[in-house]
Every structure is written in structure tokens, then in C-alpha cells.
């Protein structure tokens, strides 16, 4: 059974059973839909996209968006044709944008107005909070939580069971994008790391497993495992 609102554009490559599509939704391109999927009004799904069973996509979300190109943007001309995959049991919040080539594992939650850039890999049961922005080529381990308004820079690796608090900000470029041969290098964050409210993570640093970064800290150097680090710049205070 499929319930397709008459104002929707429903042209997937393949579609399963029990699909509900709200008014003004657009599903087109090489889209494959599983079973028991609910697509709310004004959702756009386009390109090479695969959505597994029991997924819900709330109003105005956009799945499979291609990166914008402009002469003002120093960006490769790569053709983003990789599969965008949303695995079973995941919920995509209203106005969220999932770019082409993203892989989102089972039972994740992508919050309202979150932006997940191209080629991001998200493990199972991850929570991406409201208005979170995630740059390209990021890997996020299972059961990690990234809280509202955090920014995860591109080329970052985050382990499993990590907690990143609200308004945490990270960067991957020390040159302010002024050079011709810019090398972007994000953070490497180990398993079970906790990053406190409003912390800043500078390019290329690593944080070892089970460490804690205090609220408002500025991390300019690597932090070993099992440490509490605080301050501006952050310094190791004690073992955990």
C-alpha cells in the first residue's frame, strides 16, 4: 500500500510497501525506498539515494543535495555521485539537509535544521542535535551525541560514545583559506570523550580516549587519554 498525495512528485527508481508521502514532496532520480517510510510535506529526495525501512523524514528536509559551486569557492570539481544512504529506524528532522554521499546508520536522529555535508559517515544510534553543522568527510562513531548548535569541521574523526556539548566549535585550517595549497586537517577524537559547553578545538589536534575537555576551553595541543583538560589554552589538570 502506498499513500501518495496528489500534489507530490513521486518518481523513485524502486519503492516498497506502506509508504506515505505528504503534499508537495519531491522524490526523483535514482531513489530507492524501503518499507514503512513516512515522508512529510515539502521533503525533497533526489539523486542516488537509498532509504531503508521504518524511516521518517519531517517537513522541508532535503536528502541528497549536491554541494553548491561558484567561482568564489575554492572547491574541487569532483562529481558527487556516491550513494546517499539512510538506514532503518532513522528520523530526519524538519529543514535538515543531508548532502550527497552521506551514510547514516541505523536508529539515528538528525535534528531540526541540521546540516550534514557530503561524504559524512554516521554510526548507529547517533544523535545530531538541532542546528548542528557537520563539514565534509567526517566520521562519527556509534552512539555519539552532538548537541544543538555545535559545529564539527570537515576532515574530522570522532569515536564511539562521545558527547559534544552545545556551541562547541572546531576548525580545520590555520591559513584562513588564504593559500593556494591548503591542507585541511580536522580533529581526531577518541572513544568516550566529553567536550564541555562552548569549547573550541583548533586544527589538527587529537583528544585521547576517555578524556574530558572543560567548558569554554581552547584546545591548541593534543590531549592524551584519561585526562581532564581546562583553560585557554587548555592544559591537563589531572588524570581521570
Positions marked catalytic: 167
| Residue 7, all three cell numbers | 500534489
CA atoms of 37 and 71, how far apart (whole Å)? 39
Three-state SS at 239: strand
Q: In what order do the strands lie in the sheet with 97-99?
A: 9-10, 26-28, 44-46, 62-65, 97-99, 115-116, 133-134, 151-152, 169-170, 200-201, 218-219
Q: How far is CA 121 from CA 70, 117, 142, 197, in A?
A: 26, 10, 10, 24
Amino acid at each position: 500500500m502506498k499513500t501518495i498525495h496528489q500534489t507530490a512528485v513521486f518518481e523513485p527508481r524502486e519503492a516498497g510497501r506502506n509508504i506515505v508521502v505528504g503534499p508537495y514532496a519531491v522524490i526523483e532520480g535514482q531513489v530507492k525506498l524501503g518499507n514503512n517510510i513516512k515522508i512529510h510535506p515539502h521533503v525533497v529526495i533526489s539523486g542516488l539515494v537509498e532509504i531503508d525501512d521504518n524511516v521518517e523524514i519531517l517537513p522541508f528536509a532535503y536528502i541528497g543535495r549536491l554541494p553548491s559551486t561558484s567561482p568564489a569557492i575554492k572547491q574541487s570539481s569532483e562529481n558527487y555521485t556516491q550513494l546517499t544512504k539512510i538506514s532503518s529506524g532513522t528520523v530526519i528532522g524538519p529543514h535538515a539537509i543531508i548532502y550527497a554521499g552521506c551514510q547514516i546508520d541505523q536508529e539515528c536522529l538528525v535534528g531540526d535544521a541540521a546540516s550534514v555535508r557530503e561524504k559524512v559517515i554516521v554510526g548507529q544510534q547517533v544523535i545530531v542535535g538541532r542546528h548542528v553543522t557537520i563539514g565534509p568527510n567526517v566520521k562519527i562513531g556509534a552512539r555519539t551525541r552532538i548537541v544543538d548548535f555545535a559545529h564539527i569541521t570537515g576532515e574530522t574523526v570522532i569515536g564511539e560514545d562521545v558527547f559534544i556539548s552545545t556551541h562547541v566549535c572546531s576548525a580545520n585550517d590555520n591559513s584562513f583559506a588564504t593559500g593556494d595549497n591548503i591542507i585541511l586537517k580536522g580533529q581526531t577524537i577518541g572513544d568516550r570523550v566529553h567536550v564541555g559547553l562552548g569549547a573550541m578545538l583548533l586544527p589538527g589536534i587529537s583528544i585521547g580516549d576517555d578524556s574530558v575537555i572543560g567548558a569554554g576551553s581552547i584546545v591548541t595541543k593534543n590531549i592524551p587519554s584519561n585526562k581532564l583538560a581546562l583553560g585557554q589554552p587548555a592544559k591537563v589538570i589531572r588524570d581521570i
